Amino acid sequence: MKPATVLAAFAALLVFAAAVRAQQQPDNSIELRLREALRSTTLQLRAAESERAALQVERDELARERDTLKKQNTALARQAAADRDAAAGKAADLSARLAAEEKKSAELAATLAESRESAARSADLARLKENARATLEIRVAELERIVAARETANIELFKLGSEILGRLESFGLGDAIKNREPFVGVKRVQLQNLVQDYQDKLLDQKTVSTK
């Protein structure tokens, strides 16, 4: 039962009791006390009504605040869920990007290592080629010196042979007897044939050396 209803019933009871007492004892003092009690009860009733109204206002305000807080809580929960989903999406995206970067870095590292190995092999090959070229140059220089020396020797030998052949060709029988040469037993035709063969061999040797 509401407080206003209780107070109204209590006030009606007091009025009824005062009326009964007034009929039984028409005393002024009793009537005054009843009036005072009625006035006091009325004041208390008004105060209770005012307090009830204030409490109702406060309750309504609290209800509105509660509803507002519920709405805010619901909105915050939705926002938190959205933020959580967004953070999860960003984390997944960052993880994927990180994995891609790690894969790319590994591929670049492998390519760099392969390039270094290729560069090292190229450097070794270039060094071998340079060593072979230097060795070949040394060998060519040695062969050129040998060829030059042999050409010089062949030229000198050809000159000497030609000189000997010239002397033998102009060497007569009388000169052989006079100088007591061992060629006196050799016929002149045989001597000329020997001179011609030796001269041909010298010419062949000179031709080979100059090629």
* Structure confidence by residue, pLDDT tens digits, 89-129: 888 988 999 899 999 989 998 988 888 888 888 888 889 98
The arithmetic mean of pLDDT across residues 135-163, rounded, is 81
Q: What is the mean pLDDT of residues 8-29?
A: 58
Report the pLDDT averaged over residues 146-166: 75
- Does residue 177 register a pLDDT over 80? no
User: Which band of pLDDT confidence, cut at 50, 70 and 90, is reported for residue 66?
Assistant: very high
Q: What's the whole-model pTM score? A: 0.35
Say what the pLDDT of residue 15 is.
58
Share of the chain above pLDDT 70, in %: 63
Q: What crossing angle do the helices spanning 28-169 and 188-210 adopt, rounded to 10°?
A: 170
Higher pLDDT, 77 or 12: 77
Answer yes or no: is pLDDT of 19 > 70: no
Q: What is the pLDDT of residue 184?
A: 45
Instruction: Identify the pLDDT of residue 171.
Output: 56
Checking if the pLDDT of 13 tops 80, the result is no
Is residue 186 within 8 A of residue 149, CB to CB? The reply is no
Model confidence at 199: pLDDT above 80? no
Taking CA atoms, 211 is separated from 150, 202, 206, in Å, by: 12, 15, 9
pLDDT band at 71 (very low <50, low <70, confident <90, very high): very high
Provide the residue type at 92 as one letter.
A
Q: Exposure pattern of 158-184 as b/e (b: 16+ CB <10 Å)?
A: beebeeebeeeeeeeeeebeeeeeebe
